[in-house]
Chain A
Amino acid sequence: MTSLQFVFRGELREIADIDPTYSVLRWLREEEGAVGTKEGCAEGDCGACTVVLAELGSDGSLEYKALNACIQFMPMLHGKWLLTVEDLEALQADGSLHPVQQAIVDTSASQCGFCTPGIVMSLFALYRNENRPNVNRVNDCLAGNLCRCTGYGPIIDAAQKMYDGTEGEGFTPAEANAISLLKLIPSDQGMSVSDGERHFFAPASSDELAELYKKYPNATLVAGATDVGLWVTKMQRVLEPVIYLGRVRDLREIKDNGDNLIIGAGITYSEAHQVIAEQYPDFGELIRRIGSTQVRNAGTIGGNVANGSPIGDTPPALIAADAKVLLQKGSDIRELPLQDFFIEYGKQDRFESEFVKAIKLPNRASDVIFRSYKISKRFDQDISAACGAFALKLNDGIVKDIRICFGGMAGTPARAKQAEASLIGQNWSEENVEKAMQVMEGDYTPMTDMRATADYRMMVAKNLLMKFYLETTDTQIETRVVGEKELAHV
């Protein structure tokens, strides 16, 4: 296909000529005059631009996801239904406010109102997906919607009250219409679109992707655009061409082969969350705190690995769990331990035209104790100052194996190999852990930046080892300020 097709305002829209990195937000405001959706930051952190995208699920029903329109590129809408704050009344049979909107009015959950359209859309997605979630779920749902006026209380009230109303009858016909229109867009075909100068490719298989990447080794690969989006909005980088992974079917799969979870590079955090949490509950907690709902709905674990950042949150957990990365170039596929993928700051073991195909996460053996901890200024929607993960095997109180990996402590996610070595074969005791904490000072030379000083990073990394020790040895101790307290002891 050589045109972008998506559903908008009850119609199938087809655009043949478009700037590949034109944001959905700008298109709405500049081309459609749909100014209800606001720009607050243009980096996916404030949520004022939140829209909802609905896609056909495998069972033919619609799946609703909140996303930041400011860092979604227009061609990424292909095959989806774009809903904005202006849609909701039209979806009601009588044109009245949607229950989400009415609840916000009734609870005085808007003051200046600028964040409100985004909050409406986040809550609308929640309303479609869940029934009367508890306050923790509401917090998670709204982690990516900053409000500077209300203090959030009335918004949380609205998120409860919205279920008190009954949904308008008109919504079902609108959904049925959207489903019928979405079915007109072939789901198994690749797509490419261009503005005449720059190109956007959305291949449908990894073989197609490999071919394209061979042809265009300078292409920018984009999955969720939660990072690449900022290259455009903040740095005005001109990307040519863009290859989008979101339609590559075999990268959009997550499989359990008995020994490993094979997580396709196009799997989003949201999609991986529960599957990983079943094996590694605390890794699940870490994913809960990565970005926000909007970011987790777009961003991928593959992208978190591939961009090579030293402060990505999943690599430390993956490395501690001894994950492998699968790389593909042409038809060649190779596998290497994830820790070896990160060579140094800004440099990964990846050849030209080679891409991350999947992450292979070992199913957790019953004797592996795993924890991960994210340290940031704010609990939600923040980038880690340090992120640590620990995997321990004990044999009669003796450390059989331990893997410690930190992000934010070096130019890459890095193991604390000296600390590990000092512990292996030793008693898992407070005394030995304290020794290992001292040894860890040789493992890292962290830096000072706006997130933390080097001293704090070092101190907290050492203390996290102690926290891990306490959680693994004292079944009563309370150690968690946020999240499920039981995670300290599972």
Chain B
Amino acid sequence: MSKLIPDITKDKIAGGVYQNKLHDSGHKHVNGQAVYVDDIPEPHGMLHIYMGMSTVAHAKIKSMDLSEMRASEGVACVLTVEDIPGINDYSPVKGDDPIFAEGKVEFIGQPIFAVAADTIDLARAAAKKAVIEYEELPAILTIADAMEKGSYVSDPHVMARGDADGRIATAKHVIKNSVELGGQEQFYLEGMIAMSIPGEDDEVKVYSSTQHPSEVQHNVAKALAVPDHAVTIETRRLGGGFGGKESQPALMASVSALVAKATGRAAKLRLDRDDDMVMTGKRHDFHFEYEVGFNDDGLIEGVSMLHACRAGYSSDLTDAIADRAMFHCDNVYWLPNIKVESYRCKTNTVSNTAFRGFGGPQGVFLIERIIDEIAAKLDKDPLEVRQKNFYGVDDNNVTPYHMTVEDNVIHEIFEELEESSDYQKRRAEIREFNKHSKVLKKGIAMTPVKFGISFTTTFLNQAGALVHIYTDGSVKLNHGGIEMGQGLFTKVAQVVAEEFQIDIERVKITATDTSKVPNTSATAASSGSDMNGMAAQAAARTIKQRLTDFAATQFQASVEDVEWLPNRVRVGSEEIAFTDLVKQAYLNRISLSSTGYYATPKIHYDRENCKGRPFFYFSYGAAVTEVLVDTLTGENKITRVDILHDVGKSLNPTIDLGQVEGAYVQGAGWLTTEELWWDQTGRLRTHAPSTYKIPACSDRAEDMRISLWEKGKNAEETIYRSKAVGEPPLVLGISAFHAISDAIASVTDYEVYPALDAPATAERVLMAVDRTKKAAKS
């Protein structure tokens, strides 16, 4: 409810920073009034688009007969590569993602053509009439196959410091092993969608479910061969993104815009869930190899890692993702002698893409695995080995990429959580339980996270905002960030309310729109509130300065005498309502509108030499997970979770807690039930919720104790000293994986390390139980 007459007597505004302001759209979510792209009233005569996809993993297209499809009932338009006026590419970086296949197909699900018809049923029926002949080529489907054949999307990259091999050779203990880590489908509940409305001249407006409207704009313009200014992208909200809607929506937007401009009719492309899961990228799966040398205390002396990830048929964002995996190879650990080799494998499968964490979780996964295995070998509590290897606060604090960790708080967080979760006592009880329980076994693990905040591609760390005050004192706010559920719009509105000292109800949040704030970066890398909050603050401060100057002039006072109070301004002994000040400013011809801009300071990176400061700061957290495992079936359940997470000074604790909990569950899902499974022809067989299993309600631990770290305060000058929260807590799901491993180890009385691969499905768990039992016998 907008309050038309703000209260000018109160001590504190409603909805300023650090307050538990509820999500701005909560009311609309629950009564069905929140509008997603598919809910926008469809323009008269709108066409529905269906995409024809490759049915083979790798082939030359010998022939295509689309004549029967074109003649099919209700068909208005058929597009192939021949029909693209501009460039046949929707890639984010390298120009290697064709909108429509050209001469060859490189994965099952690759778009070949689009057919637009009066209804989606007619479009789908028509698509079945396309006749495509392939000449099949050998396909590379797995990381192992790609590694063997040297098939990469880009050159391997190496990061090294010290003498890893030398120190491993001289270490008292050495472990050499490998581990597999599965990918993950984003499974945003709202599938991919774009609706385009042709405008006059070369203009087109696209409603796109995207985390990256600017990139969508640029790609649509590129495909249409029109200037960027002809294309407008608007996005009010997403029904989930999780990285999946960073680079991929450019495909849907480009195709719908091509149809709209080709026909002069509005056109919508909404993917069916199965097509969405087959056609669009997922989290990269990894094959890891490692060799580590360590002393009796478990202190790592040298470690050598091999990362091999599955890029799929094209680059997409793989280089940045694989780099971020390398940047997180250390997690919270001081690794003086380290070498990481990273291979980005080109395969005939869908091109993998961003997913919350963007390679970071994969990087952390490996070092946590290594530490866990060291502890098992030395028969120590993994917690102790972890602490032993932590970065120092004042020394032993330089990352493998030569950035000094200046804000290390993991020691404190770990100690607090160890205490508050009752870790030691519970661990002892669990071991006792396991001695007497024949079938069910319990496990527990505590893992930390340190997550680098900033886009590692430095130029992306910029943001813009636009703030208007109208003459009634109401404020319209726009910025380049996307609301996808994370509460970004609420947080940025809190910032603007705080700056102007007005109740948040006076601030209207509007859809992200490339014609309002241009050249934005993706809402990704957890950067949303850090960057857009700062940009909005800058815009607000510009206007606020003008108003302060104006008030000083009006009341013949100095600027220092102007004090901003809730919904009012005090100048000396006079008070004036914000609304009145604004009106008077207008009458005196003071501009009430401003843009704001922010570029993250301090960051730089020299990739060739792996040196620099790619991150503005780090976010930290830790989790303890307890599980119950059935050693006859491998079924497992998370029974208790304790989390302590640092979000700096929280802009909105309620929203931040929601992010932490959701991220943890998503991370645990990645490492337990969520399994992507391709058959031998390269066809994804887990392409719908019937076969791909994200956590359901009962998978949540009944006992979850989540806290934001009370002492948290960003060491850097971020927006109100808060910290980014979107991605880092996902990494805490790794504790669930290690808890399961701990439970399995109990089967051999902790003699044999389970060497579990991920995800830890019931099957993998039972196989590990079986394997370790056999190893214990022999």
Q: Which residues of A contact B (CB under 8 A)?
A: 29, 33-43, 45-46, 48, 84-86, 88-89, 97, 100-102, 104-106, 108, 110-117, 120, 135-136, 138-140, 142-143, 145-156, 234, 236, 373, 375-383, 385, 449-453, 455-456, 459-460, 463-464, 466-467, 470, 477-482
For B27, what are the chain A residues with a Cβ–Cβ distance below 8 Å? Answer: 97, 105
For A463, what are the chain B residues with a Cβ–Cβ distance below 8 Å? Answer: 632-633, 766
Distance in angstroms between the alpha carbons of A116 and B30 in the assembled complex: 6
Interface window among B102-110, B319-327, B403-411, B479-487: B479-487
A452 and B763 contacting across the interface, CB-CB below 8 Å: yes
B71 at the interface (CB under 8 A from A): no
- Tell which of A116, A138, A375, A380 touches B29, judged by Cβ atoms closer than 8 Å: A116
Describe A's contact surface by its main secondary structure. loop
For B675, what are the chain A residues with a Cβ–Cβ distance below 8 Å? Answer: 377, 450
Distance in angstroms between the alpha carbons of A383 and B308 in the assembled complex: 32
Q: How many B residues, CB 8 Å from partner? A: 89
- Tell which of A33, A41, A84 touches B688, judged by Cβ atoms closer than 8 Å: A41
Name the distance in Å between B90's Cβ and chain A's nearest Cβ: 24
B685 at the interface (CB under 8 A from A): yes
Chain B residues numbered 671-715 whose CB sits less than 8 Å from any CB in chain A: 673, 675, 677, 679, 685-686, 688-691, 693-700, 702, 704, 706
- Tell which of B125, B689, B700, B767 touches A46, judged by Cβ atoms closer than 8 Å: B689
- Tell which of B125, B189, B628, B673 touches A148, judged by Cβ atoms closer than 8 Å: B189
- Tell which of A40, A376, A379 touches B190, judged by Cβ atoms closer than 8 Å: A40
For A480, what are the chain B residues with a Cβ–Cβ distance below 8 Å? Answer: 440
Name the distance in Å between B727's Cβ and chain A's nearest Cβ: 14
Distance in angstroms between the alpha carbons of A375 and B765 in the assembled complex: 13
- Tell which of B25, B237, B665, B693 touches A151, judged by Cβ atoms closer than 8 Å: B665
Distance in angstroms between the alpha carbons of A171 and B690 in the assembled complex: 36
B145 at the interface (CB under 8 A from A): no
B272 at the interface (CB under 8 A from A): yes
Closest partner residue, chain A, to B35 (CB atom) = A35
B688 and A45 contacting across the interface, CB-CB below 8 Å: yes
What are 6 A-B contacts with C-beta separation under 8 Å?
A46-B273, A86-B31, A376-B693, A460-B766, A463-B766, A481-B629
For B524, what are the chain A residues with a Cβ–Cβ distance below 8 Å? Answer: none
Distance in angstroms between the alpha carbons of A234 and B272 in the assembled complex: 9
- Given A110-B30, A111-B486, A467-B632, output 9 extra A-B contacts at Cβ < 8 Å: A38-B38, A39-B38, A113-B485, A114-B189, A116-B30, A139-B698, A150-B661, A155-B697, A377-B762
Mark interface residues in B624-658 (1 if CB within 8 Å of A CB, else 0): 00001110111111000000000000000011001
Distance in angstroms between the alpha carbons of A85 and B34 in the assembled complex: 12
A477 and B439 contacting across the interface, CB-CB below 8 Å: yes
With A36-B33, A377-B675 in contact, do A481 and B662 touch (Cβ < 8 Å)? no
Distance in angstroms between the alpha carbons of A147 and B31 in the assembled complex: 17
Distance in angstroms between the alpha carbons of A43 and B440 in the assembled complex: 35
With A145-B697, A381-B696, A482-B637 in contact, do A112 and B661 touch (Cβ < 8 Å)? no
For A86, what are the chain B residues with a Cβ–Cβ distance below 8 Å? Answer: 31-32
For B629, what are the chain A residues with a Cβ–Cβ distance below 8 Å? Answer: 481
Distance in angstroms between the alpha carbons of A214 and B759 in the assembled complex: 51
For B689, what are the chain A residues with a Cβ–Cβ distance below 8 Å? Answer: 40-41, 43, 45-46, 146, 381
Name the distance in Å between A429's Cβ and chain B's nearest Cβ: 16
Distance in angstroms between the alpha carbons of A257 and B690 in the assembled complex: 37
B15 at the interface (CB under 8 A from A): no
For A113, what are the chain B residues with a Cβ–Cβ distance below 8 Å? Answer: 25-26, 28-29, 34, 237, 239, 485
Mark interface residues in B1-35 (1 if CB within 8 Å of A CB, else 0): 00000000000000000000011011111111111
B500 at the interface (CB under 8 A from A): no
Mark interface residues in B601-638 (1 if CB within 8 Å of A CB, else 0): 00000000000000000000000000011101111110
With A33-B41, A450-B685, A450-B686 in contact, do A154 and B658 touch (Cβ < 8 Å)? yes
- Tell which of B124, B679, B696 touches A378, judged by Cβ atoms closer than 8 Å: B696
Chain B residues numbered 435-457 whose CB sits less than 8 Å from any CB in chain A: 437-440
B39 at the interface (CB under 8 A from A): yes
B698 and A149 contacting across the interface, CB-CB below 8 Å: no
B23 and A464 contacting across the interface, CB-CB below 8 Å: no
Mark interface residues in B502-541 (1 if CB within 8 Å of A CB, else 0): 0000000000000000000000000000000000000000
Distance in angstroms between the alpha carbons of A153 and B440 in the assembled complex: 26
B274 at the interface (CB under 8 A from A): yes
For B673, what are the chain A residues with a Cβ–Cβ distance below 8 Å? Answer: 377-378
Name the distance in Å between A414's Cβ and chain B's nearest Cβ: 20
A466 and B189 contacting across the interface, CB-CB below 8 Å: no
A156 and B439 contacting across the interface, CB-CB below 8 Å: no
Mark interface residues in B564-592 (1 if CB within 8 Å of A CB, else 0): 00000000000000000000000000000
B191 at the interface (CB under 8 A from A): yes
A114 and B190 contacting across the interface, CB-CB below 8 Å: yes
For B654, what are the chain A residues with a Cβ–Cβ distance below 8 Å? Answer: 108
Q: Which 3 A-B pairs have the closest CB atoms?
A: A36-B32, A114-B239, A112-B485
For B694, what are the chain A residues with a Cβ–Cβ distance below 8 Å? Answer: 146, 148
With A40-B189, A152-B700 in contact, do A382 and B31 touch (Cβ < 8 Å)? no
Closest partner residue, chain B, to A153 (CB atom) = B661
For A37, what are the chain B residues with a Cβ–Cβ distance below 8 Å? Answer: 32
Name the distance in Å between B384's Cβ and chain A's nearest Cβ: 29
- Tell which of A143, A149, A477 touches B697, judged by Cβ atoms closer than 8 Å: A143
For B690, what are the chain A residues with a Cβ–Cβ distance below 8 Å? Answer: 41, 43, 45, 383
For A453, what are the chain B residues with a Cβ–Cβ distance below 8 Å? Answer: 763
Name the distance in Å between B524's Cβ and chain A's nearest Cβ: 15
B417 at the interface (CB under 8 A from A): no
A481 and B688 contacting across the interface, CB-CB below 8 Å: no
B334 at the interface (CB under 8 A from A): no
For A479, what are the chain B residues with a Cβ–Cβ distance below 8 Å? Answer: 439-440, 630, 632
Q: Which of A39, A136, A378 has most B Cβ within 10 Å?
A: A378
A481 and B693 contacting across the interface, CB-CB below 8 Å: no
B272 and A42 contacting across the interface, CB-CB below 8 Å: yes
Distance in angstroms between the alpha carbons of A483 and B632 in the assembled complex: 17
Distance in angstroms between the alpha carbons of A150 and B729 in the assembled complex: 13
B761 at the interface (CB under 8 A from A): yes
Distance in angstroms between the alpha carbons of A105 and B654 in the assembled complex: 12
Name the distance in Å between B755's Cβ and chain A's nearest Cβ: 17
For B36, what are the chain A residues with a Cβ–Cβ distance below 8 Å? Answer: 38, 114
Distance in angstroms between the alpha carbons of A116 and B485 in the assembled complex: 11
